[in-house]
Amino acid sequence: MIDIKIFGKANEFYRVKLVKLNKNEPEEFDWKEDILYKIPPKKFSVINETEYLVMVVNIDTNEGHNLNRYKSSTQAEKKIKLIEEDLKELTKIQFETKYHVSIEG
């Protein structure tokens, strides 16, 4: 099998995407021995946690590669700006090497 390398600027092949993840988890449940399911504690509350996932997406196939998760949107947006600059400046191969991304298109 021949490995074909495609050359060009990274922004011709990839884009960066921000995904907001809402994580709603109830607090720990307690087991009750005579019942076959878990019951919530008396003071039931849900922990709301938001994370921001930064992804690189292949323009042709929409296949994505997760880069990192961040606790704040500010951190994620800073990373996106850096990646967008790299997309403009780096070649496809340089970008894939730097971000450990290889999404076939």
Domain boundaries, the chain: 10-25+51-99
Q: pLDDT band at residue 105, thresholds of 50, 70 and 90?
A: very low
> What value does the CA radius of gyration of the chain take, rounded to a whole number of Å?
21
Over the stretch 64-93, which tens digit does the pLDDT of each residue have? 999 999 999 999 999 999 999 999 999 999
Provide the pLDDT for residue 38: 56
pTM comes to: 0.68
Q: Average pLDDT over the chain, rounded to whole?
A: 80
**H-helix or E-strand spanning residue 89:** helix 73-89
Percent of the chain with pLDDT over 90: 55
**If 0-12 CB within 10 Å is exposed, 13-18 middle and 19+ buried, where does residue 72 land?**
exposed
Q: pLDDT band at residue 26, thresholds of 50, 70 and 90?
A: low
